[in-house]
Amino acid sequence: MKRIIVTRNKWLLGMALSCLCAVGEVAAQEKRVNTQNPLPVLGEERMDLMFRETADLDTSVCVEDFLPVYAPRPAQVKDVYQPVLSLNGTWLFHEQPDADFYQRDNRADWKPIVVPGEWAMQGFKVDSAGWAGYQTYFTLPADWKDKQIRLRFDGVSSEAIVYLNGKQVGTHAGGMTAFELDITKALLLGENRLSVSVRSESQADMLGSLTQYAAHQLGGITRKVTLVALPDVYISDMRIVTDLDAQYKDAELKVYATVENRSSQPRTDISLQLNIDGLSTDIHQTLPTIAPGESWSGWVTGKVSSPRKWDCEHPHLYTLKMALNESDQTKEIVSRRFGFREVEVSGNRLLVNGTPVKLHGVCRHEMHPLGGRVITPELARRDVALYREANCNFIRTSHYPPCEELIEACDELGMFVELEAPVCWVGHHANENWKHLDYKDPKYYPYILQANMETIHFYRNHPSILFWSMANESYWNKGFAQVQVYVEKADPTRPHAFHDQAYGGFNNQGSTAPIANIHYPGPDGYKVAAKSDRPMTYGEYCHLNVYNRSELVTDPGIRSDWALALAPTWENMYHTPGVLGGSIWSGIDDIFQLPDGQAVGYGAWGPIDGWRRPKPEYWDMKKVYSPVKIHTKSLSPANEFLIAVENRYLFSNLNELKINWRYGDETGVADVDCQPGDSTLFSIVVDNPKATNELLLDIIDPRGFNVDTYRIPVGEQVQNRIQPLAKQKTTFQETEDSYLISGTDFTCKISRKDGRIVSLQRKGKEMLVGGPYLMALPLTGGGCYPNHNADTPPFNELCSKWNCKSVKAASRGEDIEIKVKGSYLEFTGSYTLSINASGAIAVTYTFKALQDVNPRQWGLVFEAPTLFDTAFWRREGLWSVYPSDHISRPVGEAKLFYNGLPKEIDPRMQPSWPWSYDFNQLGSNDFRATRRNIWYAGLRSEENGRIVVPSDGTQHWRSWLDGDRIQFLVADFATPGDELFLSSYYEPYRKPLKKGDTISGEIQLQCIPSK
């Protein structure tokens, strides 16, 4: 087998000349091109020729000419108490400042704004082609005098012109990548005035589809701002490479460093010293004389014996300290956490430290409902922890680099990363600008190159990053092929991907990235991937429900059906070597609550919402991605239980975990020894085998979080605990408009006009006030647009225009039988009500379709008073264990509206309750969700009693508030919702009805009064 190793290539040496600044022509999102003066591009004429479609691919490029400068933040600088200062906080802002605003103090009449932050999320409105103004003031510490001062913006969206004390000190384009400026010569001894002119819509914004994607203007200083003090001779670059030997045991540490001399004198006694905390390594490198204004670049290397390796399950980090010494003095110390980790491509597998990996993760946007694309460091870390606890080992940073703190959390907590450059939909129809622009035009590719170089150089030292992504869903051409040359030379230690389509007729133009990509491959995608000669990642797959907006407003239970697509898909991916893995779309909801009350974005497409509350899909993802699979489905009572387990960890033996068990009052920790990828049996011994009917297993990762929980039934299980009601004497009488059915503590009125229940009472208390109504609810999807609307109406339509043809009543044994015939516009047929004074009702129905319909659910709907505000059920779940507030828990109760919540939910208020308690006009998410495969379900009123539907595990229940009554559906058919991205997965579950097709069913109800 041919083995391609991407980590041992030689680096191109040389001096990094400059970071690229800004871009040319600007395209706004309102389908118009902004022709304001463009900002300059480094080497524009030469690059324009290079990117022409007719030009030959230039493989001799010197990548160092195009790498930006990011001086490592110093941990220590001689004679400086604190060498790094944050400029985050409250700045001044103007939406339309004078052109020369940077020349003067604007404290008197400008408004405050928080940095980092989007201006739109703080209530400001700026013209799409206009420049907004920022200003702040700072005074340098006295011990920063005579130091080299650098100013770093981690992100300004999307074009910035920076002024210090009225002088322009730099420009930049690209809202999601950092830039750094040398401001030493523009500083004053006292107070300094920092001004930034910012334009949101630009060519960079268009090439990243950033504002379009967020459905609101992304303008602002959106990431942290930092001042750094450096000595006059300082470390301006540090690239860490860990090269493992053939056995992946020992390593060679390679640090490519650049030292700059900004003094007026030659520096002759300069050396670098490397130390690694926890290791005895001590590496020295004496440098040659560095002339004034010049720099030295080169490798500093040393051998390291048996370091602990970094992987996503064992995120071992070391701290590297690089000291810059002159004579006997330490001028500067740079400290950086890193991991010993090596990435290789071998055939169609990706190896980490020699082990083939399988990536199971999510795509993730940077978002917060109130902050937009700006989040706090604490929230970034929380995101990684949430995904890790959901058994994700991988995040794709769609479709731009995240804040630095997120990648630091991935390093520390253990999470593989695909880091994507801020390039999205170049040439793709999703960005409508390309209808009138040529995506092959070479003028776009200098920025695309800049975006990739800035992405790679800023994040390159993070061990969590396995590979880069050049662009999302873009059209491959000569321009991207030339950028790829730079990408390969910029970081030979990692492969990269390009997110087009690796096969098929759409957006498949022959890209050659080392990692192949496919989006939404469907249920059979693994069959193609198995034949791939490259590792193939499902860059996006198993898109969560979002575009079937009316369905989701109506029935949150649709979210639990998503597992029917994810579970089999992941099984096929896991067992196919050519499938590197995949990232679910998407990892988090993308809804922004603007200050003016608008809610915009693509919608609720994440397993967590914007407030970081787990949604139903979160548990499904955790279960599907679980690395510990218990294959024992049931047990017989015994003193010793043998449990079959499969270890799907990549690097961990199961003996590193705790498998806690509980059987009645007995508890213990199982002793399990199972290597990654293996299966085994383990034993649990109990004293009293008849103590209970279930064995509980709780699996804990060594890092302290729950991996998975299993309930294994032991012995006979009784699912349906609803006993038939004892029959009672039942009579009826006929009036002009009704049949009146009566018995002890029982009355029921049936309309002779339409054959429906008008009233059913037990002990004088209303139980039912309507029904049955036929429902054959059509599937209702929608298009792929960022058109989230908080006012989307529900879709709960009953069959329409009932024309009752006959209603007949008769005694049948102890029951009264009501036979009803009639037709709707959509169906014709009949139903029979068998009613007993005990409260038992049996309903049989048969209807024939009068037109074609592809139903999501069909069955009969009944109505109860609003006092029946608690739903309850017992059902057959997909998983043996669910969280207590999960809408698909197998046994539970749900309130129409939960106590302690406000009467109306303020969408800009952080919820203190679980997602299942959220509500709309139909009731809480919990109350109105479909319960599939019920053994029984019903409604309860403290005053009036219980309505119970006994069943056999084949029917489904749904309830909701409709004006002055509760409606509930007992469905004999239910299929997942009409999410367009999931249609191929759900096809086996559909039952489209043609004209003339028949639907039928039998429903049991029990109306039981309060005692």
Q: What is the pLDDT of residues 655-696, one digit of tens each?
A: 999 999 999 999 999 999 999 999 999 999 999 999 999 999
Name the band, by pLDDT with cuts 50, 70 and 90, for residue 44. Answer: low
| Nearest of 256, 266, 287, 273 to residue 324 by alpha carbon | 273
CB atoms within 10 A of CB 274: 20
Q: By three-state DSSP, how is residue 987 classified?
A: helix
User: 145-166 pLDDT, tens per residue?
Assistant: 999 999 999 999 999 999 999 9
Name the band, by pLDDT with cuts 50, 70 and 90, for residue 5. Answer: very low
775 has a pLDDT exceeding 50: yes
Specify the pLDDT at position 137: 98
Share of the chain above pLDDT 90, in %: 91
User: 445-465 pLDDT, tens per residue?
Assistant: 999 999 999 999 999 999 999
Specify the pLDDT at position 900: 93
Specify the pLDDT at position 787: 84
Options 1.10.150.120, 1.20.1250.20, 2.70.70.10, 2.70.98.10; CATH for 731-777+800-1009 is 2.70.98.10
Regarding the domain with residue range 628-704, which homologous superfamily does it belong to in the CATH classification? Immunoglobulins (2.60.40.10)
Regarding the domain with residue range 239-338, which homologous superfamily does it belong to in the CATH classification? Immunoglobulins (2.60.40.10)
8 A C-beta contact, residue 232 and residue 150: no
Specify the pLDDT at position 194: 99
243: burial class by Cβ within 10 Å (0-12, 13-18, 19+)?
Answer: middle
Which residues of the chain does CATH 2.70.98.10 include? 731-777+800-1009
CA separation, residue 51 to residues 25, 197, 312, 423, 478 (Å)? 16, 30, 38, 16, 7
CA–CA–CA angle 267, 271, 275 (5° rounding): 155
Could you tell me which CATH number the domain at 3-18+42-62+355-624 has?
3.20.20.80
What does the pLDDT average to over 297-323?
98
21 has a pLDDT exceeding 80: no
Name the band, by pLDDT with cuts 50, 70 and 90, for residue 553. Answer: very high
What does the pLDDT average to over 32-56?
57
Specify the pLDDT at position 55: 76
19 has a pLDDT exceeding 50: no
Specify the pLDDT at position 7: 31
What does the pLDDT average to over 107-130?
96
| Nearest of 367, 424, 363, 374 to residue 397 by alpha carbon | 363
546 has a pLDDT exceeding 90: yes
Q: State the helix-helix crossing angle for 478-490 and 445-459, rounded to 10 degrees.
A: 20
**Residue 19 neighbours by CB under 8 Å, 6+ apart:** 67, 68, 69, 172, 179, 180, 454
In whole numbers, what is the pLDDT of the chain averaged over residues? Answer: 94
pTM: predicted TM-score of the whole model, two decimal places: 0.94
What does the pLDDT average to over 811-832?
98
Residue 197: its H or E element = strand 191-199
Given CATH 2.60.120.260, say whether it is the number of domain 64-230: yes
What does the DSSP assignment read for 848-888? Answer: EESS-B-EEEEEEEEEEETT--EEEEEE--SSS---TT-TT
Which residues of the chain does CATH 2.60.120.260 include? 64-230
1007 has a pLDDT exceeding 80: yes
Specify the pLDDT at position 650: 99
Which residues of the chain does CATH 2.60.40.10 include? 239-338, 628-704
974 has a pLDDT exceeding 50: yes
Specify the pLDDT at position 342: 98
843 has a pLDDT exceeding 90: yes
Share of the chain above pLDDT 70, in %: 95
User: 702-749 pLDDT, tens per residue?
Assistant: 999 999 999 999 999 887 778 999 999 999 999 999 999 999 999 999
Question: Omega before 586 cis (within 30°)?
Answer: yes
User: 849-872 pLDDT, tens per residue?
Assistant: 999 999 999 999 999 999 999 999
CA dihedral 623, 624, 629, 634 (to 10 degrees): 70
Please provide the size of the chain in residues.
Answer: 1011
Which residues of the chain does CATH 3.20.20.80 include? 3-18+42-62+355-624
**Residue 983 neighbours by CB under 8 Å, 6+ apart:** none
What does the DSSP assignment read for 918-954? Answer: -EETTEEHHHHS-EEEEEEEEEEETTTEEEEEEEEEE
